[in-house]
Amino acid sequence: MLKGLRQRNQANAQASRTSITRRTLMLGGAQVAVVAALGLRMRHMQLERADEFRMLADGNSIKIRLIPPARGLIYDRNGLLLAGNEQNYRVTMTREDAEDVPGELAALRRLIPMTDEEAAALLEEIDRRPANAPITLADRLSWEQFCSVSINTPALPGISPEVGLSRHYPHGADFAHVLGYVGPVSDYDLSKLENPDPLLRIPRFQLGKSGIEAKLEDELRGKAGQRRVEVNSAGREMRELSRREGDPGVALQLTLDARLQNFAMQRLAGESAATVVMDVTNGDIMAIASAPSFDPNLFVRGISGADYTALMENDHRPLADKTVQGVYPPGSTFKLVTLLAALEAGVIGPEETVYCPGYVTVGGRRFNCWKHSGHGRVNSVFSLEQSCDSYYYEVSQRVGIEAIAAMAKRLGIGVKHDLPMSAVAEGNAPTKDWKLKRYGKDWLIGDTINASIGQGYVLASPLQLAVMASRVASGRAIAPRLVRARDGVEVPAPEASALDIDPRHLAVARRGMWAVVNGSHGTAGGSKVVAEEWLMAGKTGTSQVRSAVVNNKAVPWIQRDHALFICFAPFDAPKYAVALIVEHGGGGSAAAAPIARDILLFALAGGLPPLSAYPSAQRETIKTRFEALDLIDPAQFAAPTRGRA
């Protein structure tokens, strides 16, 4: 029996050992894996992250600091820099790290000049801001000042000299309205945002405040980088642990031509005026100038009270962007709309005439033509050439305001164009409904008559007039655009479909515009272009500021008529269109057309136009005028690198 038991034991033991060995190997494998994991974890924590933990252990702390990205650069169509970034040396103070705020500020004032008021304002700001937020005490320091502060930092805890980037507009006032400007983030800016980018929490971080800078802020801003830094108990950075650079903002290339813009600004100088130059083939805005202007760099630095008051009190309103924001009665330039609406409705044929006795009486009320002696029999082309009011008084009654308003919208008036600029105005192409809604009054026939010559309720911005000129010139639904390329990648020009207007009617309108400039009785006959390849066509406009027409010279500036002119060239193959307004300039033919001609020729010539393009009698005057201009040298603005920088 013992033998049997022993045998069973032997067999049992054998099976047991095999099983145990197999299971032990499995368990052993698992144990090895766990031990390996523990070892790797030790290695990770004690070798790879040792510095970080050592610092935490030493009572130091690691802080994450944002690296502000370089704001996207802005170029003109030829690669000239319009908005760049420059080094800015500044000094900041963090209250929680400072020992004696007033004392240190006093010490700093021995190194950097600062008025008593500025110092008091800074002390107030330091008290108001969170203790851990750095406050900029002084910026735009010279290199010498910056060095003197840097040398003294050991004696000034909490104060740190920093190098940052600051926006700079090399062309100054020339692009102030279209580009806009940046300024330090305000509490108001932050309050408008649902979930602000942490970058905006950086004190004095520059944010687009108006124009393209504001409208394309998201693209231009770029993405913040991050630095993990070791900070000692005094708040001073000991060293950088890691650094991840941010992405600079998108580099924008605009459709604008800096030289043309500069020329336009120079030609508008002294006036309260605005002009828009468009490429009629693709909608590129070549220049968009509003005069007088202001230096946007003043706003970047923080404009002084005196400068700001001067800008606000100037009756020429330098801060207003008259190109897209300003709306004016378009005056006789609007006759193109009325004519096209009438031709389309068939209420008058191109050759059909209307008799002008110098006035039209409707419902017992007398509407005067500007030529009191009357034009006699007037057909469509002659009505434009002579800008005969009576013709339009008559045809507008036949066609009605609704058709005129619809035509205005097709030509781009009373429509809000999509441009990245501030406060782009919609203008107004009035209808019966509009008046009822707006004023609660019925539309009167007199309203139609006023609207037919671009007075009354009709309002258009220079941009809209330029769009109208481009559409009439090209016969296509050209839409304005400002951005030509992003980061070197061209933005395709939107496909412009043919206008839904009979091309024959458009040809009539163009012929009329040709006659305005080149006809024997043209209202802009004094602004002829004699160069065959650049023949110009246009339309003058004089819009009344007051109801009664008086001698413009005899009334104060602010009561004089606005002078308008729209034009395009070359007549046979239109390339550029210009719309121009001189506020309170008097007549369109005298005040607006000559400037518009110069600008149009500059665009066509790609530089100062040759005197041979002008009628010989005018060449001397033109020459003197050009010589008085102080134009930019493009080489001065050549960007160091194209694309991202």
Partner 1 sequence: MSYLENNLKTIPTGPTKILFLNWPLIFLLTAVAGAGFLMLYSVAGGNLETWAEPQMKRFGVGIVAMIAVGMTPIWFWRNVSGVIYTVALLLLLAVEFFGDIGMGAQRWLDLGPVRLQPSEIMKIGLVMLLAAYYDWLPTEKVSSPIWVLVPVTLILMPTFLVLTQPDLGTAVMLTLGGGFVMFAAGVSLWYFGTVIALIVGLVATVLESRGTSWQLLHDYQFKRIDTFLDPAADPLGAGYNIMQAQIALGSGGWSGRGFMQGTQSHLNFLPEKHTDFIFTTLAEEFGFIGAFGLLTLYAGIIAFATYTALSTKDRYASLVSLGVAGTFFFFFAINMGMVMGLMPVVGVPLPMVSYGGTAMMILLAAFGLVQSAHVHRPR
Residues taking part in catalysis: 332
In the complex with partner 1, which residue's Cβ is closer, 28 or 615? Answer: 28
Q: Is the dihedral of CA 344, 404, 463, 510 positive or negative?
A: positive
Instruction: Report d(CA 102, CA 159) in Å as an integer.
Output: 12
Q: Does 238 bind partner 1 (CB under 8 A)?
A: no
Picking from 134, 136, 154, 152, the residue whose alpha carbon sits closest to that of residue 144 is 152
Q: Does 45 bind partner 1 (CB under 8 A)?
A: yes
- Residue 320 burial class via C-beta count within 10 angstroms: exposed 0-12, middle 13-18, buried 19 and up: middle
In the complex with partner 1, which residue's Cβ is closer, 31 or 621? Answer: 31
Q: Does 13 bind partner 1 (CB under 8 A)?
A: yes
In the complex with partner 1, which residue's Cβ is closer, 52 or 487? Answer: 52
To the nearest whole angstrom, how small is the minimum distance from the Cβ of residue 9 to partner 1? 5
- Residue 79 burial class via C-beta count within 10 angstroms: exposed 0-12, middle 13-18, buried 19 and up: middle
Site string (47-76) toward partner 1, x via CB under 8 A? x-xxxxxx-xxx------------------
Q: Is 578 left (phi over 0), alpha (psi -120 to 50) or beta?
A: beta
Instruction: Report d(CA 239, CA 524) in Å as an integer.
Output: 71
- Give the residue, chosen from 1, 5, 155, 306, that forms a contact with partner 1 under the rule CB under 8 A: 5
- Give the residue, chosen from 1, 4, 10, 495, that forms a contact with partner 1 under the rule CB under 8 A: 10
Instruction: Report d(CA 364, CA 455) in Å as an integer.
Output: 20
Which residues, including other chains, have CB under 8 Å from residue 119's CB and lie 6 or more apart? 105, 109
To the nearest whole angstrom, how small is the minimum distance from the Cβ of residue 41 to partner 1? 5
In the complex with partner 1, which residue's Cβ is closer, 49 or 223? Answer: 49
Residue 305: CB atoms within 10 Å: 7
Structure tokens at 457: 């309720």
Q: Does 33 bind partner 1 (CB under 8 A)?
A: no
To the nearest whole angstrom, how small is the minimum distance from the Cβ of residue 35 to partner 1? 5
Q: Is 459 helix (H, G, I), strand (E, B) or coil?
A: strand
Q: Is 364 helix (H, G, I), strand (E, B) or coil?
A: coil
- Give the residue, chosen from 1, 4, 23, 302, that forms a contact with partner 1 under the rule CB under 8 A: 23
Half-sphere exposure at residue 623, Cβ-oriented, CA atoms within 13 angstroms = 8
Half-sphere exposure at residue 255, Cβ-oriented, CA atoms within 13 angstroms = 25
To the nearest whole angstrom, how small is the minimum distance from the Cβ of residue 16 to partner 1? 4
Q: Does 43 bind partner 1 (CB under 8 A)?
A: yes
Quick one: which segment of 22-30, 105-113, 523-531, 595-603 binds partner 1 (CB under 8 A)? 22-30
Q: Name residue 569's amino acid.
A: A
To the nearest whole angstrom, how small is the minimum distance from the Cβ of residue 55 to partner 1? 8
To the nearest whole angstrom, how small is the minimum distance from the Cβ of residue 54 to partner 1? 4
Structure tokens at 515: 């006659």
Instruction: Report d(CA 616, CA 580) in Å as an integer.
Output: 24
Q: Does 1 bind partner 1 (CB under 8 A)?
A: no
In the complex with partner 1, which residue's Cβ is closer, 41 or 223? Answer: 41
Q: Which residue has the tokens 């136009």?
A: 609
To the nearest whole angstrom, how small is the minimum distance from the Cβ of residue 23 to partner 1? 5
In the complex with partner 1, which residue's Cβ is closer, 5 or 155? Answer: 5
In the complex with partner 1, which residue's Cβ is closer, 6 or 365? Answer: 6
Helix (H), strand (E) counts: the chain: 22, 21
In the complex with partner 1, which residue's Cβ is closer, 59 or 305? Answer: 59
In the complex with partner 1, which residue's Cβ is closer, 30 or 605? Answer: 30
Residue 118: CB atoms within 10 Å: 13
To the nearest whole angstrom, how small is the minimum distance from the Cβ of residue 176 to partner 1? 48
- Give the residue, chosen from 37, 64, 549, 638, that forms a contact with partner 1 under the rule CB under 8 A: 37
To the nearest whole angstrom, how small is the minimum distance from the Cβ of residue 17 to partner 1? 6
Question: If binding means CB under 8 A, how many residues of this protein chain bind partner 1?
Answer: 38
To the nearest whole angstrom, how small is the minimum distance from the Cβ of residue 36 to partner 1? 10
Q: Does 41 bind partner 1 (CB under 8 A)?
A: yes
Q: Does 46 bind partner 1 (CB under 8 A)?
A: yes
DSSP 463-500: HHHHHHHHHHHHSB----B-EEEETTEEPPPPPPPBPS
Quick one: which segment of 4-12, 391-399, 425-433, 488-496 binds partner 1 (CB under 8 A)? 4-12
Q: Does 34 bind partner 1 (CB under 8 A)?
A: yes
Return the residues of window 533-572 that contact partner 1 according to CB under 8 A: none
Q: Does 20 bind partner 1 (CB under 8 A)?
A: yes
Instruction: Report d(CA 536, CA 529) in Å as an integer.
Output: 6
Q: Which residue has the tokens 């240190």?
A: 104
DSSP state of 440: S
| Residue 587 phi, psi dihedral angles, 5° rounding | -80, 145
Return the residues of window 424-463 that contact partner 1 according to CB under 8 A: none
DSSP state of 611: G
- Asked if the bond preceding 292 is cis, omega within 30° of 0, the reply is yes
Q: Does 9 bind partner 1 (CB under 8 A)?
A: yes
Q: Name residue 39's amino acid.
A: G
Q: Does 15 bind partner 1 (CB under 8 A)?
A: yes
Q: Does 42 bind partner 1 (CB under 8 A)?
A: yes
In the complex with partner 1, which residue's Cβ is closer, 17 or 244? Answer: 17
To the nearest whole angstrom, how small is the minimum distance from the Cβ of residue 294 to partner 1? 50
Kindly provide the residue ranges of all beta strands, DSSP E only, lying in 267-310, ordered along the sequence.
273-279, 285-291
- Give the residue, chosen from 29, 39, 102, 270, that forms a contact with partner 1 under the rule CB under 8 A: 39
Residue 640: CB atoms within 10 Å: 8
Q: Does 27 bind partner 1 (CB under 8 A)?
A: yes
- Give the residue, chosen from 38, 64, 106, 234, that forms a contact with partner 1 under the rule CB under 8 A: 38
Which residues sit at the interface with partner 1, rule CB under 8 A? 5-6, 9-10, 12-13, 15-17, 19-21, 23-24, 26-28, 31, 34-35, 37-39, 41-43, 45-47, 49-54, 56-58
